[in-house]
Amino acid sequence: MIQTKKLYPTAFNPLFIKPARPFPKEIAVIGAGTIGPDIGYYLKSALPQIKLILVDVVEAALKNAEKRYADYAKKAVDKRKMKEDQARAILENIVYTTDYDQIKHCELVIEAATENIPLKQKIFSMIEERVGSDTIITSNTSSIPADRIFSKMKNPERTTITHFFAPAWRSLPVEVVTWPGGSQETVDYLFWFFAKTGKVPLITDNVICFMLDRVFDNWCNEAAFLLNQATAAQIDKVAEEFVFAGPFYVLNMANGNPIIVETNTLQMEEGSHYLPASILKSVDKWLTPRPGAKVEVLKDLKESIRDRLLGILFSQSFDIIDRNIGTPQDLNLGCQIALGFRKGPFDIMRELGETEVERIMKRFQKERPGFPQAAKKITHYQDFKRHLLVDEIEGVKIITIRRPQALNALNDEITNEILAVLKENHAKPDIRGFVITGYGTRAFSAGADIGRFPQTLGNAKAAIQYARDCAEVQLFIDQMDKPVVAAINGMALGGGLEIAIRCHSLIAVQNAFFQFPEITLGILPAIGGCVVPYRKWPQGAELFHQMICLAKSINAQEAFKIGMVSKLVDEYIHLIPAALEEVQNLKGQIKRIFQGQVRIPEIRMPDEPKAGNQNLSKEAVTITIQTIQAGAAAEKLSEALEAGYQGFGKIACTEAAKEGITAFLEKRKPVYNK
Ligand code: COA
């Protein structure tokens, strides 16, 4: 599997790093243009207690930033994403200033000024003159390598690039650059810091444009070259197969033409093929409609545009992996969460197949000679886990589910990947066991991917088969001799909880919580959720009735009380060590799930069942009760599990399931009629 230690010498999961220092109390952002204030707003939202100093030489920019902050906070309150006192805390303790002396107590300074090397160097010397010797100093440049900016500094070890993506207050990724002049300690700290404050840090090498802008800039530049065959609207339309908005639409939104000229000129150091299209210098706005608008593109033209766009995308992707600029999992994810691709480049390649990718690359080479081609066989680039980070500590494989854009919700590929890691490693004599956890601090996993459910609606056979297929990973864990421990780092919901409870033990942080929300969607937990809890922790049966039939959520303390969680830890930093210890404790002591019939208390439900203030479907609740009862009455675990799959088949054919799932996907409350 491609996972490079060069970029990640300490850990792939940023939260496994023991931070060398606490959170900063004061942070400065230099530059109140477009992205600087947004970086500041993210920092204040994640850490409202900090003092933020926003510095610019232009007073008007600072005034605009202040107004923008107030607007963001008001919108969040209006949309009920934030309480008023939270909004107030974010807006307090911000200094908008033109005076650099204000930053002297800052422990972290992020520069987000114009992309101009002499200007940046001047700013960094002003910063260095004022701050303490261990203040971390970073630049948000999207293209200039670290050595060119920081080489004149007295103490470059505490510097690096931290590159955000618009809109920086909510866009998840941040590229953190590793470079020879900066220390590993600085990179490790920032890697941890961003993850801990809700971002998805991606470590990249110190090359021009780092990782993701090599894709974005060249994608846009290639689109501009294609204007000799098609209109901007046509090119955007063809691109929409792969991105939510075409390159010209995005360039218009970001006023991006001069940026592409600048960054591609810089990339020409690697060869003249990176030449920026000259039309980018003479056009201000492109004539292109909103994404989704109808635009006619004839078949031949469409193919020609599509091949060129894919050619540049694949060329850059191969080059990034071949030169170890970034890892394939980061590139694949980053293109989706930073650049708006519907799928990662390696997913597109996989769907097209090797022969088609080779054809596209041959044509691309002919039309655009000089661009990088794949250095290895096309299949080599598929050898990585899309959604997992796999670390190894003390002979234990630690599997981190990383799908941050959906709170680590499990799709078919994730469960297959988990199963593959277990199968690849369980027979290895030097592997003692496994830990499964979720990326970030919010979610272990928010359940099975609800987007997948519509395919099973109204089709009992398909629904039952789907449940059986999903269950493979659980069935494998059931019979493993090496321990598998779930390290619950946040919410564990639905299908995510069904994986957690099949692990041989659960360790959780104090603020974790557990819920089966399926019934609110008009369905039931199919992969052992209606069966296993009663067989593993019969003392919690009353609570499980409430959880499964009424979506009651329980906190980590309640789960600990009924024995579902073996150990609670105060803070995330203790979670993995406790899970490793549990792997050791379980050696030769794995308790198998009870096989026989189980007695469960009578299930009594209100006449009008509700989850909080949401009405539930009576029909769905009835099917769920019947499924729990059938599972308890089964003589063998395998029969009980089968009752769960059958129950899912039945419930998938109800009006309630159709309504509940459709409502979630349409982001509205469901209305159940029976
Ligand atoms: N399947 C697919 N996508 C999911 C998901 C799931 N189980 N859980 C969360 N997501 C997605 C959301 O759709 C959203 O995507 P978007 O940004 O493209 O709209 C993203 O993750 C973030 O979630 P969001 O709902 O915006 O966060 P929140 O903080 O407002 O709410 C939850 C968090 C967990 C309460 C809410 O996401 C939820 O109810 N999820 C479904 C949980 C569930 O029913 N799981 C059981 C399924 S078996």
pLDDT at 152: 87
Q: What is the CA radius of gyration of the chain?
A: 26
Query: Any idea which residues carry the catalytic annotation?
Result: 498, 518
User: Could you tell me the pTM of the whole model?
Assistant: 0.95
Cα 440 to middle of ligand 1, angstroms:
15
Which DSSP string corresponds to 541-556? HHHHHHHHHH---EEH
* CA dist list (Å): 275 to 24, 45, 214: 42, 40, 13
pLDDT at 454: 85
Pocket flag, ligand 1, residue 494 (CB < 6 Å)? yes
Name the closest-CA residue to atom 2, ligand 1. Answer: 449
CA distance 312 to 216: 10
Give Cα 348 to chain centroid, integer Å. 19
* CA dist list (Å): 350 to 117, 209, 354, 362, 383: 40, 26, 7, 17, 11
Structure tokens at 664: 């979630």
Cα 441 to middle of ligand 1, angstroms:
15
Pocket flag, ligand 1, residue 82 (CB < 6 Å)? no
CA distance 427 to 494: 30
Structure tokens at 520: 């609110």
Cα 447 to middle of ligand 1, angstroms:
8
Q: What confidence tens digit (pLDDT) does each residue in 502-543 have?
A: 999 999 999 999 999 999 999 999 999 999 999 999 999 999
pLDDT at 4: 67
pLDDT at 115: 86
- Give the strand order in the sheet containing 443-445: 443-445, 491-493, 513-515, 554-555
Widest CA span in the chain? 77
Name the closest-CA residue to atom 10, ligand 1. Answer: 406
Pocket flag, ligand 1, residue 495 (CB < 6 Å)? yes
Pocket flag, ligand 1, residue 438 (CB < 6 Å)? no
* CA dist list (Å): 82 to 44, 46, 73, 173, 215: 13, 12, 8, 22, 35
237 close to 286: Cβ distance less than 8 angstroms:
no
Which of 407, 527, 648 best tests ligand 1's pocket when mutated (most atoms within 8 Å of CB)? 407
402 close to 459: Cβ distance less than 8 angstroms:
no
DSSP SS3 for 301: helix
Q: Cβ of 285: how many Cβ atoms within 10 Å?
A: 11
Cα 405 to middle of ligand 1, angstroms:
9
524 close to 651: Cβ distance less than 8 angstroms:
yes
Cα 407 to middle of ligand 1, angstroms:
7
Q: What confidence tens digit (pLDDT) does each residue in 622-655 have?
A: 999 999 999 999 999 999 999 999 999 999 999 9
Cα 446 to middle of ligand 1, angstroms:
6
1 close to 399: Cβ distance less than 8 angstroms:
no
Pocket flag, ligand 1, residue 451 (CB < 6 Å)? yes
Counting as low any pLDDT under 70, the low residues of the chain are 1-5
Residue environment code for 534-561, b if the CB has 16+ CB neighbours within 10 A, otherwise e: bbbbbebbebbbbbbbbbbbbebebbbe
Pocket flag, ligand 1, residue 245 (CB < 6 Å)? no
Name the closest-CA residue to atom 37, ligand 1. Answer: 446
All residues at 6 or more sequence positions from 400 whose CB lies less than 8 Å from its CB, including other chains: 12, 13, 388, 389, 390, 391, 437, 438, 439
All residues at 6 or more sequence positions from 341 whose CB lies less than 8 Å from its CB, including other chains: 242, 243, 335
User: Which is the closest atom of ligand 1 to the Cα of 451?
Assistant: 2
Name the closest-CA residue to atom 23, ligand 1. Answer: 406
Pocket flag, ligand 1, residue 409 (CB < 6 Å)? yes
User: Which is the closest atom of ligand 1 to the Cα of 495?
Assistant: 48
Pocket flag, ligand 1, residue 61 (CB < 6 Å)? no
661 close to 450: Cβ distance less than 8 angstroms:
yes
pLDDT at 3: 61
Nearest to 105 by CA among 139, 130, 138, 137: 130
DSSP SS3 for 94: strand
